[in-house]
């Protein structure tokens, strides 16, 4: 721990925020450049960390510990392992790309960028924190900027942006309320059992909680993290929220923020309360499968592009839930990797739709047709994201989905088959949206559109590179994920006595 | 060079893939350069393939034990996936055939696509298409094969939808992808089950383990798995009932159709079943399903082709029908016959599609064969080569199709499947008839004055001539008197069957009668079809409308699927949101606004409430009597 790289990754956007406070509010270019540099620094350092992480050694690395509240055992404990690194990479990547997707924000850009960077810091923090208290702290940091950003820079379509913002925020808060109760109960119980106050994940995981206590606490955490993950039927904030939010918020939210739910389920709920997880796993699997099929059908009925992606993301999160519920290394590997793959894909999709909306002031599919002739680069981005969404082999989403299916099919058999029908339905709604938006005869009213260029190309290039490279070389992702998941599952495996179907 | 080619066979798919990347990122603005990159990569692949094939076909050890090498793709405890090369006579033959046919088609495309807006993009897609197919061919692992399989699907999507400004092309592309996806769902499930049961997806290892499958699972499960795996080929190879995408695929430029129908895409399904034949042979029910599906598809598609009017549509149904033959061959357990027919079919079908493209260019994309006529006078090369293809597919010796079709027919009969044999023989007759109906109507008969056809340039006709030559001699490698093919490309022991002259003569007679009947109906007496159609109106309409299968699917899609979608969405808006979320919200809000009445902020209201409260206490005390009153008034009494 000679060079505090994680702190610097966290603080770079904070420095950007402080810098922005001293910049006149009409220096549009400078404001965006500062944000780009600050988030770019975090992104670059994260890429370095990702490849510098020693996989043979494994475990937590780049650890930093600063004691904070000794009486409660709270430590500012930062560190990354194979579970958090892909997520951290995802946040910084999307954060960086989102600045360029918001390059044309002209209303109060300074406030926009300040809030956005705070949001990114909050999300990053949840993934590097190894202390439950700090985790929750960062999580609460996330909520406030989102609300303000939706209310000010959002857009009203089927629902008003105020409704969308409120729904999003209240869901996040209710989720965190359940969590808070669970976390306090777990902490107090651990204190009673061990007599030592400790909020660290590793510390809590050592505590032998009674089984019925684990079952109740896991239910609370499943509610909290589940609604964050847009688990069916607690998903309805997701399509409305994404539709109301500005592009950058949709990107971060669908890309990584909701993955805090999946991450938390594994890192906290499953790791600390394995017996609870075992009790609720079949229930989670059913909700996951229901979410996959239900949201895929709902996506098929949508005419607003953002709603298509919104429901699509609910559907994909069903895979994640199913993967976690399989409670074996392969399934959980698949779930984590699916979160990563879906994040890159969703961010690209939302940035593309954001550009379309910015240029046409419409997201209504029947308004479009033949756009690929007027804005070919946007069409490429759209198709790339769409193909990733339907899990095309060679793109980053395929191997994770396949792995999830293996893990889930082993345990749940027929139930998993229902989820796998998702691959058909996804193809149906994605290709339908692509056909009706991008292909077909062109329309004269969009002849004036200017294709994306210059800074607007950054999201396509950055996210596209990850989509393809991690897709063609999946071990870049899977080795890392497995490095984090395998030891975690090994630690709890004596509690989990899972019998396979085959 | 032979040694190098065999150990570097992965270069064959890699080169066209690199060509794709180079064209997309570098050479796109320069059309000719892009075409050269594409053709160059494929031709280099052909050279490597030819050397590799030479190496393979001279070392007998490779028949039983293929040459394999691989690298780790990804791994975790319990799931290790390698990507690699599996080189044996079958894959070497496919490498050779695909690179050869794809090179010829690409050269032809330089002429066919000249002046098109997306010229470079077209060649980029063609390269990627070739690369995916070649990867599929050399794959040593089922998941690797699946990656290539979907890659092939993607390229067909992009190329069928090449003219995506047209609604028909856009819809055809979507249909191809979604139909194949439905099939791939089965294949994916099958692969998952194989991985879970046998712990590997490596084809060779699966072969060893499935030979003793009782150690892992029971026959019923394996049958189910085999059927699931077979679903994939049903979609990809256009077998009934998922054949519907293939006729629509002609929306793409004609060279694409040639590539899809001959060398890539549709034969992938046949190839996959061929690769997994060891599994199908273990479970007779699944094998039976393959045979019946194949024979039925062959007959079914041939019957539709009888009445169609568009030149490419007839060819498309003929492809479906010929693919049925290949499946039938696999279903009766013969890798040899299936791959042999795949090989000969690749040449004559590529030939006929490219010749059809030549006709379409000459007639400015007028596709109805009834509006053609006498084209052979103005387009001698196109006409003559098309006729060679026609003779080959009709099974006239010594053309290529005769040998392969004859082998399938005699194997079906000797394998004890009289009904399937009858279907296959009937198909042979129909094939000769409908194909020569096309040829007589388009190339012979009276010239139409409104057409001004012109022979295509050499860049297009030379590939036609080469393919015509191959359609003539391609079958000679596998005649009953020179069974070179069967000795090398086989599964299990090599049996040299004596020539079955009965079947041979029968199949020639059927072909000749078919051609003769077509001659009578479309050259001698042109109104014969009209009269027949009127006489058997319902049958004709049913065939002409392709048994209404498209309509049934459309109905299913628009009524059931979209209906379910709408229902889920409305449920989401009115139940999940309407009742739960907004309901909870409304309760909170209404409770709040109800309670708000008491928070007026006016002092006099509060004073009033206070006064009323005191009054109420006093009244209660007055009524309830002395005991509680004592509490209030204290000891004062």
Identify all chain A residues contacting B149, using CB atoms and an 8 Å cutoff. Answer: 393
Measured between alpha carbons, how far is residue B43 from residues A14, A460, B117, B464 in Å? 56, 33, 25, 17
Contact B37, B22 (CB under 8 A): yes
| Contacts with A, B 578-607, CB within 8 Å | 580-581, 585
Q: Is B634 helix (H, G, I), strand (E, B) or coil?
A: coil
Q: Is B545 helix (H, G, I), strand (E, B) or coil?
A: coil
Residues 6+ apart with CB under 8 A from A326: A281, A285, A332, A404, A407, A408, A410, A411, A412
Q: How far is A446 from chain B (nearest CA, A)?
A: 14
| Contacts with A, B 562-581, CB within 8 Å | 562, 564-569, 572, 576-577, 580-581
Q: Which tens digits make up the pLDDT trace of A189-206?
A: 998 888 888 888 888 888
For residues A276 and A217, give the distance between their C-alpha atoms in angstroms, rounded to a whole number: 7
Contact B105, B350 (CB under 8 A): yes
Q: Which helix (H) or strand (E) holds B68?
A: strand B67-76
B-interface mutation test, from A233, A301, A407, A471, most B Cβ less than 10 A away? A301
pLDDT grade, residue A2 (50/70/90)? Answer: low
The reported pLDDT for the residue numbered A498 is: 47
Query: pTM to 2 decimals?
Result: 0.90
Residues 6+ apart with CB under 8 A from B93: B53, B339, B343, B489
For residues B221 and B438, give the distance between their C-alpha atoms in angstroms, rounded to a whole number: 46
Q: How far is A298 from chain B (nearest CA, A)?
A: 5
Q: Is A500 helix (H, G, I), strand (E, B) or coil?
A: coil
Flag whether pLDDT at A499 surpasses 60.
no
The reported pLDDT for the residue numbered A398 is: 92
- Bridge partners for B75 per DSSP: B80
Measured between alpha carbons, how far is residue A111 from residues A50, A114, A153, B69 in Å? 31, 5, 10, 57
Identify all chain A residues contacting B72, using CB atoms and an 8 Å cutoff. Answer: 475
Q: Which of A395, A168, A432 is nearest to A299 (CA)?
A: A432
Cis amide linkage into residue A341, ω under 30° from 0: no
Flag whether pLDDT at B528 surpasses 70.
yes
B-interface mutation test, from A475, A487, A500, most B Cβ less than 10 A away? A475
> What residue of B is the nearest CA neighbor of A300?
B565
pLDDT grade, residue B631 (50/70/90)? Answer: low
CB contact under 8 Å between B143 and A474, yes or no, is: no
The reported pLDDT for the residue numbered B507 is: 87
Q: Is B78 on the interface with A (CB under 8 A)?
A: yes
Half-sphere exposure of B387 (CA within 13 A, CB side): 14
Contact B9, B95 (CB under 8 A): yes
Identify all chain B residues contacting A403, using CB atoms and an 8 Å cutoff. Answer: 76, 79
Q: In this complex, which of B147, B564, B581 lies closest to A297 when CB atoms are compared?
A: B564
Flag whether pLDDT at B365 surpasses 60.
yes
The reported pLDDT for the residue numbered A400 is: 93
Stretch A470-476: mean pLDDT: 92
CB contact under 8 Å between A478 and B76, yes or no, is: yes
Encoded tokens for B199: 């712990």
* Total beta-carbon pairs less than 8 A apart between chain A and chain B: 136
Phi, psi of A258 (to 5 degrees): -70, -20
Q: What percent of chain B has pLDDT over 90?
A: 28
Q: In this complex, which of A298, A403, A420 lies closest to B79 when CB atoms are compared?
A: A403
Looking at residue B455, the DSSP 8-state letter turns out to be: P
Q: How far is B637 from chain A (nearest CA, A)?
A: 54
Stretch B493-522: mean pLDDT: 83
For residues A299 and A308, give the distance between their C-alpha atoms in angstroms, rounded to a whole number: 5
Flag whether pLDDT at B498 surpasses 80.
no
A-interface mutation test, from B568, B579, B580, most A Cβ less than 10 A away? B568
Stretch B448-468: mean pLDDT: 85
Contact A269, A261 (CB under 8 A): no
Contact B299, B431 (CB under 8 A): no
Flag whether pLDDT at A310 surpasses 80.
yes
Stretch B169-183: mean pLDDT: 90
A-interface mutation test, from B148, B158, B170, most A Cβ less than 10 A away? B170
The reported pLDDT for the residue numbered B523 is: 79
A392: left (phi over 0), alpha (psi -120 to 50) or beta: beta
For residues B379 and B461, give the distance between their C-alpha atoms in angstroms, rounded to a whole number: 10
Give the highest mean pLDDT range of A488-492, B323-327, B402-406. Answer: B323-327
Q: Which tens digits make up the pLDDT trace of B184-202?
A: 999 999 999 999 999 889 9
Measured between alpha carbons, how far is residue B629 from residues A456, B615, B617, B620 in Å? 81, 14, 10, 9
Q: How far is A3 from chain B (nearest CA, A)?
A: 31
CB contact under 8 Å between A398 and B576, yes or no, is: no
Q: Which tens digits make up the pLDDT trace of B372-426?
A: 877 888 888 888 898 999 999 988 888 888 888 888 888 888 888 889 999 999 9
For residues A162 and A154, give the distance between their C-alpha atoms in angstroms, rounded to a whole number: 8
Q: Which tens digits make up the pLDDT trace of A327-363?
A: 999 999 999 999 999 999 999 999 999 999 988 888 8
Identify all chain A residues contacting B74, using CB atoms and an 8 Å cutoff. Answer: 399, 474-475, 478-479
Q: Is A364 helix (H, G, I), strand (E, B) or coil?
A: strand
Q: Is B479 helix (H, G, I), strand (E, B) or coil?
A: strand
For residues B502 and B559, give the distance between their C-alpha atoms in angstroms, rounded to a whole number: 52
| Contacts with A, B 136-155, CB within 8 Å | 143, 146-147, 149-151, 154
- Bridge partners for B69 per DSSP: B85
Flag whether pLDDT at B471 surpasses 50.
yes
Encoded tokens for A28: 């549009």
Identify all chain A residues contacting B182, using CB atoms and an 8 Å cutoff. Answer: 424
Stretch A144-153: mean pLDDT: 88
pLDDT grade, residue A500 (50/70/90)? Answer: very low
CB contact under 8 Å between B188 and A387, yes or no, is: no
Encoded tokens for A350: 């939302």
CB contact under 8 Å between B146 and A392, yes or no, is: no
Identify all chain A residues contacting B175, using CB atoms and an 8 Å cutoff. Answer: none
Flag whether pLDDT at A243 surpasses 80.
yes
Encoded tokens for B433: 């008839």
Identify all chain B residues contacting A373, using CB atoms and an 8 Å cutoff. Answer: 165
What is the value of ipTM here, to two decimals?
0.91
How does strand B79-87 pair with strand A61-69?
unpaired
Q: Is A108 exposed, middle or buried (0-12, 13-18, 19+ CB in 10 A)?
A: middle
- Bridge partners for A80 per DSSP: A61
Q: In this complex, which of B177, B565, B576 lies closest to A233 when CB atoms are compared?
A: B576
In chain B, helix, strand, coil percent, each to 5? 75, 5, 20
Flag whether pLDDT at B635 surpasses 60.
no
> What residue of B is the nearest CA neighbor of A308?
B569
Identify all chain A residues contacting B79, using CB atoms and an 8 Å cutoff. Answer: 330, 403, 406
Least confident residue range of A131-145, B34-48, B522-536 = B522-536
Flag whether pLDDT at A78 surpasses 60.
yes
Encoded tokens for B560: 């059931």
Q: Which tens digits make up the pLDDT trace of B82-98?
A: 999 998 888 999 999 99
Half-sphere exposure of A141 (CA within 13 A, CB side): 20
The reported pLDDT for the residue numbered A497 is: 60
For residues B192 and A410, give the distance between their C-alpha atoms in angstroms, rounded to a whole number: 9
Q: Cα–chain-centroid distance for residue B600? A: 73
Encoded tokens for A86: 């892909």
């Amino acid at each position: 721990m000679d060079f505090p790289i994680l702190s610097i990754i966290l603080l770079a956007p904070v420095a950007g925020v402080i810098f922005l406070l001293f910049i006149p509010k009409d220096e549009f270019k400078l404001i965006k450049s500062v944000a780009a540099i600050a988030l770019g620094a975090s992104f670059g350092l994260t890429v370095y960390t990702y490849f510098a992480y020693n996989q043979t050694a494994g475990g937590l690395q780049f650890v930093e510990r600063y004691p904070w509240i000794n009486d409660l055992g709270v430590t500012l404990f930062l560190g990354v392992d194979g579970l958090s690194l892909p997520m951290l990479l995802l946040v910084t990547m999307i954060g960086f790309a989102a600045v360029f997707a918001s390059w044309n924000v002209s209303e109060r850009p300074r406030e926009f960028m300040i809030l956005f960077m705070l949001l990114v810091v909050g999300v990053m923090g949840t993934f590097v924190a190894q202390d439950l208290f700090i985790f929750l702290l960062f999580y609460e940091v996330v909520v406030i900027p989102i609300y303000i950003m939706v209310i000010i820079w959002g857009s009203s379509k089927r629902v008003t942006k105020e409704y969308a913002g409120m729904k999003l925020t209240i869901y996040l808060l209710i989720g965190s309320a359940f969590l808070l109760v669970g976390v306090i109960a777990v902490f107090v119980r651990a204190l009673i059992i061990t007599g030592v106050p400790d909020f660290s994940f590793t510390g809590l995981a050592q505590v032998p909680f009674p089984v019925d206590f684990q079952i109740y606490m896991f239910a609370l955490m499943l509610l909290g993290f589940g609604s964050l993950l847009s688990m069916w039927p607690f998903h309805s904030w997701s399509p409305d929220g994404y539709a109301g939010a500005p592009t950058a918020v949709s990107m971060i939210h669908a890309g990584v923020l909701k993955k805090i739910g999946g991450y938390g389920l594994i890192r906290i709920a499953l790791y600390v309360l394995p017996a609870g997880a075992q009790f609720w796993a079949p229930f989670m699997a059913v909700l996951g499968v229901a979410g996959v099929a239900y949201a895929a059908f709902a996506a098929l009925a949508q005419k607003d592009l953002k709603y298509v992606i919104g429901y699509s993301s609910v559907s994909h999160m069903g895979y994640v839930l199913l993967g976690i519920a399989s409670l074996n290394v392969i399934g959980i590997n698949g779930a984590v990797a699916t979160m990563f793959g879906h994040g890159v894909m969703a961010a690209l999709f939302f940035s593309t739709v954001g550009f379309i909306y910015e240029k046409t002031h419409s997201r209504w599919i029947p308004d479009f047709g033949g756009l690929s002739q007027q804005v070919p680069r946007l069409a490429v981005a759209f198709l790339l994201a769409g193909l990733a969404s339907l899990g095309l082999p060679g793109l980053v989403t395929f191997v994770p989905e396949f792995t999830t299916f293996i893990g889930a099919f082993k345990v749940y058999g027929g139930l998993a088959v229902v989820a796998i029908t998702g691959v058909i339905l996804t193809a149906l709604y994605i290709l339908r949206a692509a056909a009706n938006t991008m292909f077909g005869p062109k329309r004269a009213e969009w002849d004036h559109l200017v294709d994306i260029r210059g800074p607007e190309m950054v999201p396509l290039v950055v996210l596209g590179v990850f989509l393809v490279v991690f897709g063609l070389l999946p071990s870049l992702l899977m080795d890392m994920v497995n490095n984090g998941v395998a030891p975690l599952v090994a630690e709890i495996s004596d509690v989990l006595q899972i019998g396979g179907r085959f | 060079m032979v040694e190098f080619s065999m150990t570097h066979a992965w270069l064959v798919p890699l080169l066209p893939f690199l060509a794709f990347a180079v064209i997309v990122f570098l050479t796109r603005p320069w059309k000719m350069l892009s075409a050269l990159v594409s053709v160059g990569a494929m031709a280099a692949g052909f050279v490597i393939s030819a050397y590799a094939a030479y190496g393979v076909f001279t070392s007998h050890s490779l028949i039983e034990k293929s040459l394999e090498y691989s690298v780790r793709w990804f791994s975790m405890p319990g799931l290790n996936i390698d990507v690699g090369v599996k080189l044996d006579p079958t894959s070497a033959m496919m490498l050779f055939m695909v690179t050869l046919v794809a090179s010829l088609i690409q050269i032809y495309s330089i002429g066919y696509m000249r002046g098109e807006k997306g010229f470079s993009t077209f060649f980029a897609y063609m390269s990627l298409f070739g690369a995916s197919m070649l990867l599929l061919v050399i794959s040593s692992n089922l998941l690797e094969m699946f990656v290539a399989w979907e890659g092939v699907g993607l390229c067909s999507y992009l190329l069928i939808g090449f003219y995506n400004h047209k609604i028909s092309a856009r819809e055809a592309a979507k249909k191809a992808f979604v139909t194949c996806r439905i099939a791939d769902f089965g294949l994916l499930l099958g692969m998952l089950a194989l991985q879970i049961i046998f712990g590997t997806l490596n084809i060779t290892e699966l072969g060893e383990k499935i030979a003793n499958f009782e150690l892992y699972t029971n026959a019923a499960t394996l049958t189910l798995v085999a059927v699931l795996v077979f679903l994939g080929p049903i979609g990809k190879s256009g077998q009934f009932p998922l054949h519907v995408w293939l006729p629509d695929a002609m929306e793409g430029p004609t060279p694409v159709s040639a590539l899809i129908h001959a060398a890539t895409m549709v034969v992938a399904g046949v190839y996959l079943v061929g690769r997994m034949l060891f599994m199908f042979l273990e479970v007779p029910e699944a094998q039976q399903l393959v045979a019946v599906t194949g024979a039925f598809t062959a007959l079914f598609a041939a019957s539709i082709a009888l009445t169609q009017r568009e030149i490419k549509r007839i060819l498309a149904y003929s492809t479906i029908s010929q693919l049925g033959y290949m499946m039938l061959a696999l279903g009766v357990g013969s890798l040899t016959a299936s791959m042999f027919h795949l090989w000969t079919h690749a040449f004559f079908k590529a030939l006929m599609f490219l010749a059809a493209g030549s006709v379409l260019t000459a007639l400015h994309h007028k596709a109805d064969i009834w509006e053609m006529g006498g084209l052979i006078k103005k387009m001698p090369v196109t006409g003559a080569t098309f006729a060679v293809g026609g003779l080959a597919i009709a099974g006239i010796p010594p053309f290529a199709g005769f040998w392969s079709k004859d082998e399938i027919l005699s194997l079906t009969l000797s394998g004890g499947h009289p009904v399937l044999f009858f279907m296959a023989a009937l198909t042979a007759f129909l094939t000769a008839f409908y194909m020569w109906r096309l040829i007589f109507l388009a190339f012979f008969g009276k010239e139409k004055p409104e057409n001004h056809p012109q022979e295509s340039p050499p860049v297009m006709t030379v590939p036609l001539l080469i393919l015509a030559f191959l359609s003539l001699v391609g079958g000679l490698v596998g005649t009953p008197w020179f069974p070179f093919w069967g000795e090398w490309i086989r599964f299990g022991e090599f049996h040299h069957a004596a020539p079955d002259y009965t079947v041979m003569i029968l199949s020639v007679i059927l072909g000749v009668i078919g051609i003769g009947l077509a001659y009578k109906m479309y050259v001698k007496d042109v109104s014969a079809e009209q009269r027949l159609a009127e006489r058997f109106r319902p049958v004709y309409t049913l065939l002409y409308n392709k048994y209404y299968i498209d309509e049934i699917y459309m109905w299913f899609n628009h009524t059931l699927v979209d209906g379910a979608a709408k229902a889920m969405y409305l449920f989401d808006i009115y139940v999940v949101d309407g009742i739960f979320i907004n309901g909870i919200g409304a309760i909170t809000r209404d409770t709040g606004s109800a309670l708000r009445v008491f928070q007026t902020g006016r002092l006099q209201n509060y004073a009033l409430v206070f006064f009323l409260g005191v009054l109420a206490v006093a009244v209660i005390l007055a009524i309830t009597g002395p005991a509680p009153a004592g509490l209030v008034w204290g000891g004062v009494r």
